[in-house]
Structure 1
């Protein structure tokens, strides 16, 4: 009997863990300042593990953290000028970015891009697109355009006969298609793509 009780408790614990994951967006690196804080943690861990490399680790981290601060300032100043800050996207991966730069994301999928959206989910996003005069719908780098074709179809209107235009917002969960693209490059592309879809 005791053994069964124990496994039940473990089961409850696992469910709770999954529930926690489902509620929180893990993509903290899409906020350059959060990513900068993570770089500092990596630096400290490297110094602890390899004390002889402290000077190099410190210098490299400082240079990179300065780059991330500049990136944040670019986002901040560019987006501050935008009037409408509504963004329609496929996947709810942008909570940290939204929080930092006061953006409003409406998404078809929740935190799990593999999940199947309901007709109501799609209808809600299409309604936001129409009400907010949104012309661009953001997908991740590896999204199959066919998977959002019904949304594009439903967004067609007199003012947008072709429906919304698809553009990429990199989430950087997978290695980039071009191995030369680093974090800062992809984030700058994200910024350009966001600005393309907003009234700034």
Structure 2
């Protein structure tokens, strides 16, 4: 049984209050390490320690970057090398969809030159955070140039595939309003498509060159290596998934629309796009029926997350469960082992192929 991921370090609606307290925090932050309060969350302690160690170990760094997501962190580290100091804003197993920054983390964003965000509506707290930042920090959207898909298109495809046309119209409108309120009109999970993620990496590279032109030679050389990794990743996905075009995959939540569109698979999410709530009895019955009809023998749960829902369905149909990575979280332990965007994506590919009975 996997431990449930942390779904919120700061209660919703507190960012404005936190912003008002920033002046007091900055006034007393001559030394980094502890915030004005006597207690720190494990997330704050982890990032504070990481930031301190980064500054001590990279005193010669020409560029300090705060990465809003794990993929951006991985790309910035790979492209920047020793020339940059990169801090992961949401370090550890916290969840992208249920997170807001603390005063300690707002301080650390202000210590960077670049704050690279995933965009596409993922960072629903961004506008309020910007109000707490100084002019020194340049906030850049890494989704620029990515062909984004409207959330309703992926949702409508899911509804069509599983015959939910009888859902109450007013309820759908309410859900759509709530979704757009929290994450905008687009499905924000584009990084799970290797081609879209390659564009994100290109944006990271361009941001570094623009901020630190003297490092262009270093960034050019490292970026070419990253491009080669993407070429290998895309080729592997194309070759290994081609025999299974049109097949369905039961995933923990609807984060795989871009990936599966790319390689002609169908996602069936236990939870919706925002990874909120639990499937009701009707939805579970529909998923069980689909699994039996299509002979699905693997139910995926989110790595670092809870496998209870997947396990219940698996027992009902005599299937097994397996983890899959949305890359909304990477554990510290895995990072220390050298895991990164490319290794996790290859693990996902192997797991998907295995779920179809392939190798």
Pair 1:178-2:334 in alignment = yes
Deviation at 1:153, TM superposition (A): 3.4
Alignment-derived partner of residue 148 in structure 1: 310
Matches within 5 A, 1:24-103: 24-82=186-244, 85-103=247-265
The partner residue of 1:191 within 349, 355, 358 is 349
Aligned partners of 1:83 and 1:29: how far apart in 2? 21
Aligned residue pairs total 179
Deviation at 1:84, TM superposition (A): 5.6
Stretches of structure 2 lacking an aligned partner (at least 5 in a row): 1-175
Question: Residues 117-137 of structure 1: CA distance to partner in whole angstroms, max 9, x if unpaired?
Answer: 211121111111010000001
Distance 1:24 1:125, change over 3 A: farther
RMSD (Å), alpha carbons? 2.0
Stretches of structure 1 lacking an aligned partner (at least 5 in a row): 1-14, 156-162
- State the TM-score, normalized to the length of structure 1: 0.82
Aligned partners of 1:57 and 1:46: how far apart in 2? 8
More helix per residue: 1 or 2? 1
Distance 1:29 1:51, change over 3 A: same
Q: Secondary structure at the match of 1:107?
A: strand
Aligned partners of 2:203 and 2:246: how far apart in 1? 35
Tell me whether 180-189 or 24-33 shows the greater mean CA deviation. Answer: 24-33
Aligned partners of 2:357 and 2:309: how far apart in 1? 27
Aligned partners of 1:94 and 1:122: how far apart in 2? 19
Matches within 5 A, 1:132-171: 132-155=294-317, 163-171=318-326
